[in-house]
Every structure is written in C-alpha cells, then in structure tokens.
Structure 1
Amino acid sequence: MYWGKDKSLYNSNHLFSYSPSLFSILCPIKASDAMAPQKDIPNVHIFSTRVGDVIVRPDLNCYLLLPPLPTSPCADLRPLHPSLRGGQHYFGSRWHNSIYVIRDNKILEAEDLHTGTSKEPRLLHPSCCDGQHYFAISGGSFGIILSPGSVTAVKDLTTGEPDPATVPGQHSWSKEKMESHHSYLYWQLQDNFSGELFSFHPSFLSFLPGGLGFLKGSAFGAWELVDTIHHHSDELITRTQGIFVNVGCAKEKLANVGTSWMASLLDSPDPGSVAIAIAKAQFALPIQFGGLGLDTKQEKWEEAREVEMSLQFTLQPNEVSYVWQYQMGLGKEVILFCRKIEITNSRNPPSGIPLPPSS
C-alpha cells in the first residue's frame, strides 16, 4: 500500500484527508458495483473525529465508531442522540473539536453524536446551502462540494466568508465519488501495484447500504409451495382447512451480521435489532444494488414460528389446489416468511408480488 506523505489529497493545503483506519491492510475488500452509490442512497456519512472514525446511518438512528487499527474488525455501535437525528449531512475531522450536522439549512454542533448538541442551531449562509457534500478542513475551515467536480472553501458556514488560504479549484475525484460505488471509499487508498482502491474491513461492509447483499448475496423473492389440497370426489365442495406455515424472520440467518459490533453504552442499540433493520433496508434497495425495491415494514419481523392459518377452499370435482407463500431472502437463504398466502389450481406459482414498492 502507498500512503501519501501527509495523507491528504491536496498536499499543499490539507483540503481533504482520509483516515487509514477505515481500510483493511491485511484483508482489504475491493469496492463492488453491488454497493449502492451514495448519490442514489445518501443515508450514510463517513468522517474522522478526534476519538476515531465514524460511519453514520441516520435512517437507522445509529452509528459505528471505528477502531484506530485498520486490521481490527471491531467497532462500537452507538445511538444517535434524538437532537441529532434526521440530518442531511454529518461531518467532522481530527482537527475540529465539534462534529457538525446540517439539517433543514441549519448547522448543529456536538462534541459527541451520542450526547447531543453543544450549541444552539445556526442558520447556514445562503451561499452554503444545498451542498452535495460537506467536509471539515484543517485550520478550522469547511469544504463544500457544490456539484460534481466543483468545490469551494469557507471559514464559516454561517457567514459564507471565503477562505483565501484554501483554493480547491476543480476536484475531479468528487464527481467519481458521487457517481460510482467508490462513494464508500473514505479517501484514496491505492495499491501501488494494481492501482485498485480499497474499501472497509469486511466486518463493516454490512453496515453500508447494499453491503448486506455484497456479503450474503442479492435479495430474492419467490412464491414457495407449502401445501397441496386434493379433492377426490365428483362433487363441488367448499371447506375450511388449517394450513401450517412459518411466519416471521429467520433471525439465525442474520446472526453473523454485526457480531464484531460492541454495544458498550447502556442505551446502545441491540446489534441484532440493527441487523434486522439493515435487512429491511436491503430489501428496499433497487434491484441493481442487490435489493428488491419492496417495502417489508408491515411484515412480521419477530422470530420465525409455525402458525396455523385457516383457509377456505372451493374445490371443483377431482381438483387439486396449491397453497403458496411469498418468501424473501439473501443469496440462497430465506430470511423473511411473509404472511401472504395464495391458492391456485395449477402448479404455476402466482404472478403477483404481495408487497408494496419501497419508493
């Protein structure tokens, strides 16, 4: 691996820096097209702080505090303080005492994302609103990617005063960052032999949008035949019959998600609950990012259990009815047994999808 002399993209002014602790040196994972680019799925924010590197998932109301060693697979799973939830941008640096959150054109400051705001929210200057990405720069200034390839720097986001000591100019890498899977590479860490860029330690990939599909396989949904009803008679009949099916989440299939995440705080979220939330988010992703584009929030995500469902059949003489259940999974493993049951008179599964689209 090759590290820049001062670990900055612009060595002369320290405009942007990356942290080596976001990458695995011993077992690096290459970025994959299965990962959802940040331009399409913006609910992830990656930056450094004085106490370590951070990956924020505001859609899950939690974040990972990463270890200082890039070879360590462990990270601390922490809740976002309620006053800091719902932000459009989260950022900080090793040179700033505060972590910054931009929400509704206001900037919030916090010493820690777990403890809440340390100052009253302040309005952004109009010239600093609607940035696509925000960064904290050494020396106390801020960088804003206004559009792919265009970066500006200001001393204060509330006044918009330019920083004359920092001249970012055109930043071609910012366009690549927002338009490809490299959006989850913190900064450029390059293999000096192959020229490849590398991503996080494998234990952190599932925390990123699309990462669960990258590790377990793309999502699938299919009708599974769960029972057949035979009617050996020359008469039409209507009858009610109990059918036993599994309903809920096969949580054991998600047990290895987040096993290296430590919940050290009293109010830390349960890693198992976060794993389920990540699975829901994976199913909601578009197909090209390893999801199904389906909303599963109304399904039962409790531990899967067998239940008896009472179904009413109208059977023609000497007819066979087929009972189907919609099931969803990742790779080759079924994760979710849906409540929807369909009955057909042929061995062809139903053609419809019983879940609403996620967007």
Structure 2
Amino acid sequence: MAGVVPRADSPGTDVFASPGGFFVVRSDLGCFLCVPHCHAPEAPKLRSLHPACRGGAHYVGDGACVCILRGDTFHRTTDLSAAPSPDPFPLHPSCRGGDHYASWGGCFSIIFLARGVVLSVADLTTGAEAEETPLEPASRCGLYYYAPDAFHLAFLHVDEERGLRSQVFSSSGHQEDLPVHADVTSFFPGGLALVHGGTFGTWECIKLIQNETDGPLPGSYEITRQVGHAEEKLANWTFSAAGSPAPSDLSVALLQAQFSLPPAYGGLGLQTGQEEWEAVAEEEEELRVILQPHQKLFWWQYRLGLGARPVLFCRCLKVTRSPAPPANIPLPRSDARAVGV
C-alpha cells in the first residue's frame, strides 16, 4: 500500500486541532481543509490559504488563534485566510527544533522524536512551566501529531490494510485507533493513492495501419486522439462561494502533486504541469504515409491514471513497427524528494 508523505518531507504541510475543528494545511496547494473531526463523515470545507500564511514549518492551534512557526520565531493569526500578525514572536530556546508541535489543555507540547520526549510548556516565548515526559516507542512513528482534545495527543499513521489512521494516546498509556475519513485522507500528500489507488503511466495504441499486399501502399489516414484532463470527483469537499479555491483548479493541483511523488507514496515521480489540463477534447490529425509490403505501423499515446482510470491524456505520440509499446517515458522527472513549496 502507498503511504502518506510525512510532515518532515512535505514543507508547509501540517495538521492541528482547535475548537473550530480539525485542520489540514497544504501550502503547496495554497489552501487548507477543516472538518469537525478527522474521522467524521461531515463534508470537509476548503478555503484558500493567505500567501503570508504559506510555508510554515509548523501550524499549531492555540484556542482561537493559529501559531505559524518558521525558524526561531512564530506569527499568530485568527484565520489562515487572512494575514497573520506583522511582528513575529520569538521562540524560547527550549522550544526550538521540535519535530512536531501541538496545543492542548492550556499548554503547548513539543515532540522531540530522537530524544523520545514530549516537552510541555505554558508559553512558547518564555518556556514557562516546562515539563518533560517520555514518549512511548509505539508513539514515535507518527507522520503528523496533533491534540484532539484537552487530555490527549494523537498521531496519524498508515496501516497497510486499513489506510490512514489516527492513534490517540495519553500519559496513562491508553490508546485508541480511529480511521481517518476518506475525504480527509484524499487531501494529504499521497492520500489520493490511498483512497483511489496508485497512479500509473502507460502507452495506449490508438491506431493500427497495415499493408497486407506485396507492393508499396500509399495512403492518407485519420488519427483521432483524446487530449486533456478527464475530470474526476476526488472527494466530497465543500467549497464556499468566497475564500475557497476553484474546485477544478484544486483537482488539477492535487493530481499534479500526486503524479510528482515517488512510488512509495503512490506517485510516478513525473512533472505534468506542461501538459494540457483542460477538459478532455478530441483532436484529429491527417497522416500521409507509404506502407511497405506487409508492414504494420502502431500509433501510441501516453496516458496517466489514478487507480484504474485514465485521468490525463498526453499530447505525445509515438510510432512503432511492432506491437510492443515504446520503452521511454515522455515526461520529465520531478524532484520527488519533497512536495512542498
């Protein structure tokens, strides 16, 4: 099973919980998702991310505010669709360099995976009331961490059989494993492959012409091909009239990001932004060729798909004299080591 890209390998992507619900931030897409609970069936709402709120190393819900951490400072905002506070707040030295951050029960929790500890502080700027507690080995494998309520921490992980899960744990050692809803999973980098199946790229034969005579055969042939994006409903997301991305734009951005990921995350490691991403349309082309005696020519078109469905019909055509498809991949490779901005 493909996996979800960890926060550390997806700059600008993070999760947090607040009284307003569960949030997933995607800086690379320029938007964020909000749902009452990550395992709830309610339709998630999508909104645009303010440019000044993009690219945070961590996003931490703090009551009615969100802290956006970058380096050794952070900004606050009450709405990720609006500009944050102009002046940064300094992070206390003891609060710097955490692998994950969360806010719960009136304090901040900073998770240091290498040390296997959770540092709790009352204030990120002063480090006041600092207290360290050990992090159980079973709780060190999370992709993302957040606080679902005032008494627990939770992390997201991928189960090979059951998909993306939320593991809720507490200092008492009690743990609860809950499924992350498919509409939420689909928004994570790599999540489309978990919900719909991995991506694929293949050459499809769209035309075969042959000469079954013993002499040369000149002729004119019509080649019809589909070009563009076959629109698919990726999830049951709610788009508000204002302050949200266009559904078609988000669908394209998500698919482009998925195709660019390495195979471990259900991608192909390919750049597709240069392809035609408008709605699928048919194009016709007239070919004039002279077929030699008993010759066959195969016309191939490259297609990309998600699960079992083709979603992008590329412009590239190849001609072969054998029924074996071309061996090359006609799209440029992406930098599949990271997916953020």
Q: Does 1:250 align with 2:230?
A: yes
Residue of structure 2 in register with 1:102 after alignment:
69
Describe how 1:96-135 pairs up with structure 2 within 5 A: 96-135=63-102
- Checking the alignment, whether the CA contact within 8 Å between 1:133 and 1:145 is kept in structure 2 is yes
CA distance in 2, matches of 1:244, 1:59: 36
Gaps of 5+ in 1: 1-32
- Checking the alignment, whether the CA contact within 8 Å between 2:66 and 2:78 is kept in structure 1 is yes
Residue 240 of structure 1: CA displacement? Answer: 7.8
Q: Does 1:53 align with 2:22?
A: yes
- Checking the alignment, whether the CA contact within 8 Å between 1:206 and 1:215 is kept in structure 2 is yes
- Checking the alignment, whether the CA contact within 8 Å between 2:95 and 2:110 is kept in structure 1 is no
Is the deviation greater in 219-228 or in 271-280? Answer: 271-280
- Checking the alignment, whether the CA contact within 8 Å between 1:73 and 1:203 is kept in structure 2 is no
Describe how 1:1-359 pairs up with structure 2 within 5 A: 33-38=1-6, 41-42=9-10, 44-67=13-36, 71-93=40-62, 96-145=63-112, 147=114, 149-159=116-126, 161=127, 163-164=129-130, 166-178=131-143, 180-181=157-158, 185-188=165-168, 197-231=177-211, 232=213, 234-235=215-216, 242-251=222-231, 254-255=232-233, 257-259=234-236, 261-309=237-285, 315-359=291-335
Which residue type is aligned with residue 228 of structure 2?
G
CA deviation string 1:95-151 (max 9, x = no partner): x33201123443111111112203522343454443221122422434243536233
CA distance in 2, matches of 1:107, 1:174: 26
Residue 323 of structure 1: CA displacement? Answer: 0.5
Which residue type is aligned with residue 350 of structure 1?
P
Which residue type is aligned with residue 228 of structure 1?
L
CA gap of 1:353–1:70, structure 2 versus 1, over 3 A, is: closer
Say what the alpha-carbon RMSD is for the aligned residues.
3.1
Which residue type is aligned with residue 55 of structure 1?
V
CA distance in 2, matches of 1:69, 1:185: 9
CA deviation string 1:14-71 (max 9, x = no partner): xxxxxxxxxxxxxxxxxxx433251574354221122222111222111111136964
CA gap of 1:184–1:216, structure 2 versus 1, over 3 A, is: closer
CA gap of 1:39–1:110, structure 2 versus 1, over 3 A, is: closer
Residue 233 of structure 1: CA displacement? Answer: 6.5
Gaps of 5+ in 2: 145-156, 336-341
Residue 209 of structure 1: CA displacement? Answer: 2.3
SS at structure 1 position matched to 2:56: coil
- Checking the alignment, whether the CA contact within 8 Å between 2:38 and 2:184 is kept in structure 1 is no
CA gap of 1:73–1:137, structure 2 versus 1, over 3 A, is: closer
CA gap of 1:141–1:204, structure 2 versus 1, over 3 A, is: closer
Q: Please give the TM-score of this superposition, normalised by the length of structure 2.
A: 0.80
- Checking the alignment, whether the CA contact within 8 Å between 2:166 and 2:178 is kept in structure 1 is no
- Checking the alignment, whether the CA contact within 8 Å between 2:182 and 2:235 is kept in structure 1 is no
Which residue type is aligned with residue 280 of structure 1?
Q
CA gap of 1:58–1:242, structure 2 versus 1, over 3 A, is: same
Q: How many residues align?
A: 314
SS at structure 1 position matched to 2:305: strand
